[in-house]
Amino acid sequence: MSLETVTFHEELEKLDTCKKELSESNQSLRKFILSTAFLTDKNQFHGLLSDLQDKLVTLAEAVEKPMAGLPQQLPLPFSTADGENNQEEDNPFEEKDKSFSWPKASVIIFVLVASAVTVQQHLLPVEAFIAVIITSFFLLFFSSIKSMVQMVFAEKEKEREATSEAVRLEDWINESFSRIRSLYTSATLLVKIQNASKESLPDYGLPDMPEVLYNRNEYFNTILPSEFLSRIGRVIVACDKNLWARRSLLIHAITAASSQAAQGAKA
């Protein structure tokens, strides 16, 4: 077995270890979020959250690390932390070109004819008439020209984003977990201020009203777990996709190296 193959095998083992530790950390955090201590034991929450964040960042670094003999892997697309880009956006470049229209063309033709007559009567120099022609065609197809320029810049922006995607994956993980911490802190502080309960409110003010509607502790225990688990789930799915893409590259590299070694032994 060549040194290169051994290195690839070691890298595979590191990825498997990262995945196992990540899964254990995720299960511990999920179990705590769904427990009754979720909003009361903030130290344990922040500890478990930080542990999972560290595991995710370590995994992201592992799948993005350049490696000799292995093609450079661009991270796969991922949804944003807040899901604001999950819905399909309209593409402005797919709209029909509305720059050309017969009413607009008719006005421009009238201007050109009037300018031509003016030139014939020696009231307007020929150079000015040429300028009118150029300006008219530019106005007629302005939107088309603008769209073409925008498309060129959009393609360049996509290329730039593709090259910086690896950095953004780690940044996105940190931003997502920072957002979770902010929401959790706000919720725990609000629970201390708005602490209404069945014992503190008069009976006549609670006719068959569910406690979750007036008890802030019940309210946040209801909405925050699904919100946090959804955010964490999106991050983990994105990292898993990149992990399996990296594993595929390593397995392919191991197969190719083994095949070359076998051919060399036969020769």
For each of the chain's 267 residues, which pLDDT tens digit applies? 567 777 888 888 999 999 999 999 999 999 999 999 999 999 999 999 999 999 999 998 888 777 776 666 555 555 444 444 444 444 433 444 444 455 655 666 666 666 666 767 666 676 666 776 667 666 656 566 556 666 766 666 665 554 444 457 788 899 999 999 999 999 999 888 877 666 666 654 556 667 777 788 888 999 999 999 999 999 999 899 889 888 888 888 888 777 776 666 665
Alpha carbons 64 and 11: distance in angstroms, whole number: 12
pTM of the model: 0.62
User: In the block, which residue shows the tokens 């196992």?
Assistant: 20
Here the tokens at position 36 are 């009754």
Alpha carbons 96 and 145: distance in angstroms, whole number: 13
User: How buried is residue 32: exposed, middle or buried, by Cβ count under 10 Å (0-12/13-18/19+)?
Assistant: middle
Count how many residues are written for the chain.
267
The answer to whether the CB of 65 falls within 8 A of the CB of 238 is no
Of 44, 35, 47, 42, which Cα lies nearest the Cα of 192?
42
Of 135, 131, 13, 123, which Cα lies nearest the Cα of 62?
13
Which amino acid, residue 59?
Answer: L
Here the tokens at position 80 are 């944003």
Element (H, E) at 262: helix 216-266
Of 1, 48, 2, 4, which Cα lies nearest the Cα of 24?
48
Quote helix, strand, coil % in the chain, to nearest 5: 75, 0, 25
